Amino acid sequence: MLPKLFYSIFYTFWILTTKCFVSCKIRPKTYEKYLSGVMDHIKEQVGWDFIQNLDIKNDSSTWLRFNAKDILCKESNLTLSKKFDAIINVLNYMYAEVIKTFIDHIRAIANRCQEYYNLIQGDNLLSCTVLLQSAVENSKNMFEQLYNVMNYLSNIDFKLLANKKKSFSVPIVNEIYTFVEFSLLKSQQNTQIFIDLNDPNTIKDSYKVILDVNNFIEGKGHETYQKINVKNSLVVNNHKPKCLLEENLEDYKALHYKHIELSNYLSEWLNVYYVEISTNFYKNLGFEQVLDLNEESTFKPPVHLYENISQSEKIKQLNSITNESGWKSLKNINIVFNDQVIGVDRILRHPVDKLNFHCKKQHILRLIKCIYTEILFKYSKYVKFILNFCERLKSCYVIFINMVTQIFDAVHKSTKMFEVMYKALASLNELIGEYFYDNVNSNLKCFCSLISKLLKEINSGKYSLDVLDSKGDISKQRVDHARIYVQNFSEFLKSSKFRYSLHTTHEKQCPLRNLVLNIDIPWSINPINFSSACDKLIVFSKNFIKVYYEELGLNKLN
């Protein structure tokens, strides 16, 4: 039985290794040509004339004076990747200024509404609250456009432009999305509550709007802006930035004789500001054309070539997988890609398309590999603990043999988990393609090789239960076999090759460990509860297959 099983696994590994571990990727030169075309388009846009007087830190010692014509042009001595670095750093800074202006003005309108509430001025309160709600709602289109720019820049794979590049500029994608979510929430809320001025609940509803806005502005909004400021340490404005709110308040005082209400004045100013930002920092920077997904678009991202299937079919398959309900359970997990910490929320935020396909497919593969690495890490740690406990009772022959039989029965039954794990990774590799620039110690082949070595070790016949299950009396031979089993498998799990490969992959790919499934080391263990500790390993294996394979739709790939 065992030789046949081992042969089957070995044959499967050979097939998967030779057939499935293919590198389905675009060529760096093709990618560079596409991005060079994008850069040529961007540098000609008039919007960059509004972004001057900035110094950008290029590396540990040098600074660049940002001038679009000097930095982005073909004659510049900067590489293409550094030009995009400069764009990311500058837009991070400029978009942060937009956020600050938004926060300042929304806070001022909310404070005005609060004054009306405190003074029990019902009509003014209702009018002010409607303006407050509208001012937030109307920012939605602007923030979505800024977010789309940052999201596009975050999906540029700089490793393909410069594979020796060690650090990357990180766009403020999630930070801007915080404001997209807030404006979207407000636009979805029912503003009809303000129509009936005689309804006593209207005052309560109005005050709730004020509280919601203030809670966001002083809480998540403020925290997000502070995080952006830390990232913007590489950019310095050579001129004192305008304080737009102070200027607007001064202008309002000058216009006060016209009896314009402050919240009305500021909300009207914001509406004009939103249009100006959309024009100057989105359309006039050239991103509207770059982000166009229509077939007639001038900018066509490189297409990944596969045998017997189109890229569009691959995109459909990936979207089919990520639509499965099980992905929601992964939301606490993060991966690292090109210095960006990317959570599952962000991976699932948009469907896969031809613009984000290259990076998103790597995010998905990395995420699954991250989870599987963590599972293997937990498994290894748990089994080593159990084996160490067995070792301490090796002088009690009957108890020792019984415990060794139980743990290795559990180990054999858990191999299904690793077979499924290997199959899923090989199928994803066939669908997605291995990332060429991964470190050799952390790439997919290295990790799958680790799984196959574990399977080979378990199914090698060195840990046969038939010998331990002999019906005869306790013999020296059975005791010796049990001791050898414990010693050999412990040494395998503790071997430098196994531990080094596992830890290297573990630390590199999955910095934050928040898995739904866990297999905690027991607080205490003894011969009485030993059986349940072994059963826990079997249950863990079955749950893994359900949660991290079937519920993620990975079984559909076979």
Cα–Cα dist 113/267, whole Å: 12
Is 271 buried (19+), middle (13-18) or exposed (0-12) by CB count in 10 A?
A: middle
Please write the tens of the pLDDT for every residue from 158-213: 888 877 777 888 999 999 999 999 999 888 775 555 556 667 777 888 889 999 99
pLDDT, position 4? 44
More confident residue, 148 or 71: 148
Express as a percent the part of the chain with pLDDT over 90: 44
Cα–Cα dist 79/68, whole Å: 14
- The number of beta carbons lying within 10 Å of the beta carbon of residue 273 is 20
Please write the tens of the pLDDT for every residue from 147-157: 999 999 999 98
Cβ proximity of 396 and 474 under 8 Å: no
CA atoms within 13 A on the CB side of 301: 21
- The number of beta carbons lying within 10 Å of the beta carbon of residue 191 is 15
For residue 46, is pLDDT > 50? Answer: yes
pLDDT, position 466? 84
For residue 37, is pLDDT > 60? Answer: yes
Q: Which residues pair with 334 in a beta bridge?
A: 343
Per-residue confidence at 435, pLDDT binned at 50, 70, 90? Answer: low
Per-residue confidence at 15, pLDDT binned at 50, 70, 90? Answer: very low
Residue 281 tokens, joined: 């920092």
Per-residue confidence at 6, pLDDT binned at 50, 70, 90? Answer: very low
pLDDT, position 164? 74
pLDDT, position 149? 97
User: Domain map of the chain by residue range?
Assistant: 2-17+375-511+518-557, 28-290
Cβ proximity of 20 and 428 under 8 Å: no
Please write the tens of the pLDDT for every residue from 119-132: 888 788 889 999 99
Dihedral sign for Cα atoms in the order 318, 320, 321, 326: positive
pLDDT, position 267? 95
Least confident residue range of 67-81, 257-271, 431-445, 533-547:
431-445
More confident residue, 301 or 64: 301
Q: How far apart are the first and last CA of the chain?
A: 25
Per-residue confidence at 327, pLDDT binned at 50, 70, 90? Answer: very high
pLDDT, position 470? 62
More confident residue, 548 or 188: 548
Mean pLDDT value of segment 474-485: 85
3-state DSSP assignment of residue 460: coil
Torsion of CA 547, 552, 556, 558, to 10 degrees: -70
Cβ proximity of 427 and 505 under 8 Å: no
Per-residue confidence at 276, pLDDT binned at 50, 70, 90? Answer: very high
DSSP single-letter state for residue 47: G
Please write the tens of the pLDDT for every residue from 509-521: 565 556 777 888 8
Least confident residue range of 36-40, 236-240, 292-296:
236-240
Cβ proximity of 460 and 387 under 8 Å: no
Mean pLDDT value of segment 543-548: 95
Residue in this structure with the two tokens 């999630």, named with its chain if needed:
174
Express as a percent the part of the chain with pLDDT over 70: 86
Cα–Cα dist 405/400, whole Å: 9
Cα 435 from chain centroid (whole Å): 17
Please write the tens of the pLDDT for every residue from 381-422: 999 999 999 988 888 888 999 999 999 999 999 999 999 999
Largest alpha-carbon pair distance within the chain?
106
pLDDT, position 489? 94
For residue 24, is pLDDT > 60? Answer: no
For residue 447, is pLDDT > 70? Answer: yes
Mean pLDDT value of segment 368-384: 90
For residue 444, is pLDDT > 90? Answer: no
For residue 253, is pLDDT > 90? Answer: no
For residue 508, is pLDDT > 60? Answer: no
pLDDT, position 71? 85
For residue 8, is pLDDT > 50? Answer: no
- DSSP H helices, 155-243, are 158-161, 173-188, 200-216, 222-231
pLDDT, position 60? 55
